[in-house]
Every structure is written in C-alpha cells, then in structure tokens.
Amino acid sequence: MSDELPAWEKAREEFVAQWGSLGTQWGINRTMAMIHALLMTSPEPMCTDEVMEKLQISRGNAHTNLKDLVGWNLVRIITKKGDRKEYFEAEKDVWKIFITISKERKRREIEPAIRLLRDCAAQTKDETTGPGRDFHQQMKDLDEFLSFGVKVGDTVISMKHASALQWAMRLLG
Amino acid sequence: MSDELPAWEKAREEFVAQWGSLGTQWGINRTMAMIHALLMTSPEPMCTDEVMEKLQISRGNAHTNLKDLVGWNLVRIITKKGDRKEYFEAEKDVWKIFITISKERKRREIEPAIRLLRDCAAQTKDETTGPGRDFHQQMKDLDEFLSFGVKVGDTVISMKHASALQWAMRLLG
DNA sequence: CTGAAGTTTCAGAACTTACTGAAACACATG
DNA sequence: CATGTGTTTCAGTAAGTTCTGAAACTTCAG
C-alpha cells in the first residue's frame, strides 16, 4: 500500500479510526461515525466510491450510512453540473454541528422519554397514598426535569454562536 | 401469573420496559436501563433475587448490571444488619441523577474525544498551508468547542439545584 | 430503443454484544 | 472444619446489529 501519505493524512486516519470507536460509545454505529469524521476533514466533497475506497467498505454499507448522515442533517448532497454522481459534504462549523445533533437527539431520545413519563403519570394520577403516589411523583419529577431541559436547550440552540458564547462566559465569569 | 397487581404497578411495568428500549438508543444496554428504572421506582431497596424475579433474568446478568450501575454511581449498595444480603438502592433525586450522569459521560465520552483531538492537532501543528492547515484548524475548533462545553458543564454541575434553576430561568426569561 | 453509468435494495454472512446457567469462591456459624 | 448462605466468574450460547455483494432499478446519451 502507499506510504506516500502527507503527514496530515496520517493524523487524519487516526482521527477517523478513533472517532469511529468513540462513536460506538455514543450509541452511533462505527461506520457512520467514521464517514462523518472523514467528510468533516475532507477538503472536497466525496462521492460514494471515494468513501468506499478510503474506508475499505462495501457500496451498500457506504450508501446506507451516507444516507443516514444526510437524515441526521450532518451531511448534504452536492451535485456537480455535467456529472451525474452525487457528492457528499459534511457541515464543518462546530456550532452548527452541535445544533444539528442537539435537535436530532431531542427528537429521537428526549421527546419519546417525555411521552412515556407523561403516560405513566397520567395512569397513576388518582393514586394518593403510599408507593402509588410516590411513583406518580417520580414520573412527574422526571417529566418536569426533562421538559425544562428541553426548554433551556431550545433557547440555546436558537442563539447565534456569538450570543451563546457571551452568555456562557457570563456564567463562567 | 398474578394479575393482582395494584394499578400503579402496571404503569411501573410499562415504565421499566419502555425505559429499557429508550436506553438502547442512548447507547445503554437494555437490561441496565431496566434495572435502573426498576430501582428508581422501588419503594424499598431490592436484592439481586428480587431483581431477577421482577425482570425474569439470570443471576449473572442481574449481578453484572447491578455492579455496572454501582460503577456509574447511580445505585448504591445497602446492607442491613443481621442480613448478609446486599440490597441496591437507586438515587431518586432528579438533579443528582443528572449530575452523576453528566460527570460519567464527561469522563467516558468527552474526555477521550478531547485527548484524540489534541493528539491530532499536535501531530499537525507544523502544517501551515492547504488541507493540512485546514485539518489542524478543524481539530482545534472541535477541541476548543468541547473543552468550552466541559467548562460550562462543570460550572452547572457544581451548582445547587436551586441556583441552577434560577440561572436557567434568567436565560429563558 | 439500447447500452453505459450511477444508485438503491436486500438476503444472508460476519461480527459484536448480551445472557444464561452452573461451577467456583468467600465467609460466617455451630 | 463441615455446612449453609450468599456472591462472583466465565465458557458457551443466543440475540442483535452491521456489512457484503450481487441483482434490480433509474437515468441519460446516442
């Protein structure tokens, strides 16, 4: 294989591989995390074949994960005129990545949890004594906490990066 | 099987089962999430056998996941005098749960990522042109963002619940 | 319409992770 | 030191997830 890689590409390969491992801990599939890392550090949009080649994965796998990343709004499809191929480009702005991921996680992970908690609270709203009442209260506490968190999160992700920074600095200062 | 469950226990079973499913999305294993849900809604500390019985799982499985939860500081071991059994009790205070999880996730997920980013940035600090420089910059941006996030997070989790609430209200208001 | 280039789908294989059940271990008690 | 009670470990198995490769499909140019 080619050892003629520029120095930065060596670092990039480490980054891609390790980001993949970290991804699994975050509940994200390894390949998807690797493709994301690859695209985030790509000077140019890449096509499916380039991704396959770089990561040594099959077309089906590359395809699925690229589309998943597009579904997460972390990657967008670029088409060049006079070229039928689709190219993929990752958002590189850290603040925008953060906002996108926050929104998706809210939708996929927090909102279903809140629905569950409300449902369980509703089912037990007539419990006024003993363990039944405690359970009801626990559901309400969890709901209240998550809902409040969502509200705070919504405020933050609606902010411009600069305002968010300023606000955070005030908290720290 | 007994259909003589109090109404609230029905809701509890739904909560436990669903919290388990939600857990998998969060990258947490189903059983661990279920045990946590069970203990969070238990009026009394439970022993291994009770957990096995309630969730219909093996001793080994119950044991491993209980110990993992203790490792996460979400559950503590209680021993009653004159009884050699270990009982397990989950933290029920929502704010404390939040703080505990935040700390653990920081340690397990954010800090390793920051280490990786710094390593990759260091490897490319001499790159001053073209894609190498861009890569270096991207690593630094990500590092800076996560590190700043950690700082903000540290500040928040060092706050009392009431102060945090007050502070968040100001953000919203 | 035909063929070339690109894209999508999906059944089964490979891999990873979680779980069981049973045996080994620890420890207190008579 | 034998016995009963509770705890831990772990090899093998089951379940779940991800990946491959090939076939089907779409689109466009000639």
> Do B147 and B75 have their domain in common?
no
pLDDT at A129 over 70: yes
Which residues of chain A are within 8 Å of residue B98 when distances are taken between CB atoms? 145
Per-residue pLDDT, B25: 87
pLDDT at res. A109: 92
Q: Does B108 touch chain A (CB under 8 A)?
A: yes
More confident residue, B26 or B119: B119
User: What helix, strand, coil percent values describe chain A, rounded to 5?
Assistant: 70, 5, 25
Q: What torsion, rounded to 10 degrees, do the Cα atoms A30, A36, A39, A40 define?
A: -130
Q: Does residue B2 sit within a domain?
A: no
Q: A74 and A41, same structural domain?
A: yes
User: How wide is the angle at C-alpha A130 spanned by C-alphas A125 and A134, nearest 5°?
Assistant: 55
pLDDT in the model for residue B80 = 85
Residues of A in contact with B113 (CB under 8 A): 19, 22
pLDDT higher than 60, residue B1 = no
Bridge partners of residue A143, in order along the sequence: none
| Cβ-Cβ contacts under 8 Å for A104 (sequence gap 6 or more) | A72, A73
**A155: which chain B residues are within 8 Å (Cβ-Cβ)?**
171-172
Residue A146 domain flag: yes
Q: How sure is the predictor about B83, in pLDDT bands with cuts at 50, 70 and 90?
A: confident
Cβ contact A55:A62 at 8 Å: yes
B76 with B113, same domain: the answer is no
* Protein-contacted bases of chain C (C-beta within 7 A): 5-11, 17-23, 28
The reported pLDDT for the residue numbered B126 is 95
Same structural domain, B86 and B106:
no
pLDDT tens string B114-134: 999 999 999 999 999 999 999
Through-space separation of residue B140 CA and nucleotide C6 C1' in angstroms: 37
What is the per-residue pLDDT across A44-98, written as a single tens digit (0 to 9) for each?
999 999 999 999 999 999 999 999 999 999 999 998 887 888 999 999 999 999 9
| B84 and B135 part of one domain | no
Distance CA A67, CA A53 (A): 17
Q: Over the stretch B65-79, which tens digit does the pLDDT of each residue have? A: 999 999 999 999 998
pLDDT at A2 over 70: no
Res A3: pLDDT: 60
pLDDT in tens, B146-169: 999 999 999 999 999 999 999 999
Span B35-61, pLDDT tens digits: 999 999 999 999 999 999 999 999 999
Q: Is the Cβ pair A138, B40 closer than 8 Å?
A: yes
Q: Which of B90, B113, B128 is the last residue of a domain?
A: B90
DSSP codes joined into one string, B76-94:
EEEE-TT---EEEEE---H
Residues B109 and B142 in one domain: yes
The reply to whether A12 and A83 lie within a common domain is yes
At residue A12, does pLDDT exceed 80?
A: yes
**Given B49, B73, B90, which residue is the final one in a domain?**
B90
Residue A4: is its pLDDT beyond 90? no
- What range defines the domain where residue A56 resides? 7-90
pLDDT in tens, A21-45: 999 988 899 999 999 999 999 999 9
- Mean pLDDT confidence for A135-153: 97
User: How is A4-43 classified by DSSP, letter by letter?
Assistant: ---HHHHHHHHHHHHHHHHHHHTT--HHHHHHHHHHHT-S
Task: Tell me which residue of A23, A21, A75, A71 sits closest to A51, measured CA to CA.
Answer: A75
* B6-28 average pLDDT score: 93
Give me the pLDDT at residue B6, please: 86
What's the rounded Cα separation, in Å, for the pair B28 and B30? 6
pLDDT at A82 (0 to 100): 79
Contact status of B134 with chain A (Cβ, < 8 Å): yes
Q: Tell me the chain A residues in contact with residue B27 when contact means C-beta distances shorter than 8 Å.
A: 24-28
* Residues A74 and A136 reside in one and the same domain: no
B6 touches chain A (CB under 8 A): yes
Res. B12: pLDDT tops 80: yes
Q: What is the pLDDT, as a whole number, of residue B143? A: 98
Asked if residue A138 keeps its beta carbon closer than 7 A to nucleic acid strand C, the reply is no
- Structural domain contains residue B26: yes
Asked if residue A38 belongs to a domain, the reply is yes
pLDDT at residue B171 above 70?
yes
pLDDT, residue B81, reads: 81
Query: Chain A within 8 Å of B53 (Cβ-Cβ)?
Result: no
Tell me: do B35 and B82 sit in the same domain.
yes
* Residue A1 included in any domain: no
**Residue A2 forms part of a structural domain:** no
How many contacts (CB atoms, under 8 Å) link A and B? 134
Asked whether residue B166 falls in the same domain as residue B147, the answer is yes
Asked if A98 and A165 sit in the same domain, the reply is yes
- Give the domain CATH number at A61: 1.10.10.10
Per-residue CA distances from A39 to A21, A34, A89, A172, B164 (Å): 16, 9, 6, 33, 38
Last residue of a domain, one of B90, B120, B151: B90
- pLDDT of residue B173 exceeding 90, the answer is no
According to the model, what pLDDT value does residue B144 have?
A: 97
- How many domains does the structure of chain B reveal? 2
Q: How far apart are CA A75 and CA A97, in angstroms?
A: 10
Note whether A79 and A106 are same-domain residues.
Answer: no
Task: Give chain B's largest Cα–Cα span.
Answer: 73
N residues, chain B: 173
B15 in contact with chain A, both atoms CB, cutoff 8 A? yes
Q: Domain for residue B1, yes or no?
A: no
Q: Beta partners for B75?
A: B90
The arithmetic mean of pLDDT across residues A1-12, rounded, is: 80
Within-domain flag for B17: yes
